[in-house]
Amino acid sequence: MEILKLNPSYKPPAGYKPVPKEAKIPVPVEVTSGETDSGAYEEMHVQVSAETYEKVDAAVALIELLVTPASMTPAPQPQKRQVMEKLFPLKQHLA
């Protein structure tokens, strides 16, 4: 909680739930389905929410790498792979 950084002695009220930090990442889509259903004309997106802005920023960076087509990426593909390896090291073990 950000308030604890400002005032370490702060005690939140009983039952307090912090507001999640959120971000909305648009997904590039070239073809529309032509459906007339509700939401058919809404922009496709990925909704990210987390406890801290740092976690949201990390997730946004990863999702933007995944949803950006290779032809639109200004960096070559090997650099994209290096960023992915840096975000998710292979040394992590699954429990």
Residue-wise pLDDT tens digits, 29-39? 765 555 556 66
Task: For the chain, give the number of residues.
Answer: 95
77 contacts 70 by C-beta, under 8 angstroms? yes
Neighbouring-strand partners of residue 46: 25
The pTM (predicted TM-score) of the whole model is 0.54
pLDDT at 1 over 50: yes
20 contacts 37 by C-beta, under 8 angstroms? no
Residue ranges per domain, the chain?
19-28+42-88
Instruction: Give me the phi and psi of 68, to 5 degrees please.
Output: -80, 120
Spatial distance between the Cα atoms of 95 and 93, rounded to a whole number of angstroms: 6
| Residue 6 confidence (pLDDT) | 86
Hey, what amino acid is at 50?
A
Residue-wise pLDDT tens digits, 40-80? 667 788 899 998 889 999 999 988 888 877 555 555 566 66
Residue 93 parent element (H or E): none
| Residue 93 confidence (pLDDT) | 46
